[in-house]
Amino acid sequence: MSLKNGLIVIGVSTALSILMPLAIYIINFRGSPISLYPSDWASFGQYMGGVVGPLISTINLAVIIYIAIVVYHMETNRERQMGAALARPLASLSLGDYENDIF
């Protein structure tokens, strides 16, 4: 997976993890009027924090693993290129076969 595709997957999963619990809450309580009591809003905040928090933590763990894989591949490519560059000779001497030449 390329870096751009990985970022798209991460962004979409983050957006869904925030929007899905909110949508489920709205679907379940759509007929209820908006509450005027702070305790009801506190319960809603606890619900959102309790559901979204672990989802975001799981996504963060996936992001860290993805970054580790990308860095590993980048380092492997860099080491391969450095190994090829170090395998080249720094200088070369051209020696000719002048056995039949008279000076």
Instruction: Give the residue extent of every domain in the chain.
Output: 3-82
Measure the CA–CA gap between 46 and 7, rounded to whole angstroms: 29
Which residue, among 2, 103, 11, 21, has the nearest Cα to 63 in the 3D structure? 11
Q: Report if pTM > 0.85.
A: no
pLDDT digits (tens, 9 = 90+) for 38-81: 898 898 889 888 888 888 888 889 889 888 988 999 999 998 88
Measure the CA–CA gap between 43 and 47, rounded to whole angstroms: 6
Q: Which of 11-15, 35-39, 82-86 has the lowest mean pLDDT?
A: 82-86
Q: What is the pLDDT of residue 101?
A: 66
Reply yes or no on whether the pLDDT at 1 is more than 70: no
Average pLDDT over residues 25-45: 86
